[in-house]
Amino acid sequence: TGKDQQHDEL
């Protein structure tokens, strides 16, 4: 898990 992580799940 990183800082620029995008949460693509709901």
Partner 1 sequence: MNIFRLAGDLSHLLAIILLLIKIWKTRSCAGISGKSQILFAVVYISRYLDLVTTFVSVYNTVMKLVFIVSSVATLYMMYVKFKATYDHNHDSFRIEFLLVPCFVLALLIHAAFTPLEILWTFSIYLEAVAILPQLFLVSKTGEAESITSHYLFALGSYRALYLLNWIYRYYAEGHYDLIAIFAGAIQTILYCDFFYLYITKVLKGKKLQLPA
**Which residues make up the interface to partner 1 (CB under 8 A)?**
1-3, 5-10
Structure-token pair, residue 4: 């620029």
Beta carbon of residue 10, minimum distance to partner 1 (angstroms, whole number) = 5
Cα of first residue to Cα of last residue in the chain, in angstroms, is 16
Beta carbon of residue 3, minimum distance to partner 1 (angstroms, whole number) = 4
| Tokens 């620029």 found at | 4
Beta carbon of residue 6, minimum distance to partner 1 (angstroms, whole number) = 6
Q: How far apart are CA 10 and CA 8, in angstroms?
A: 7
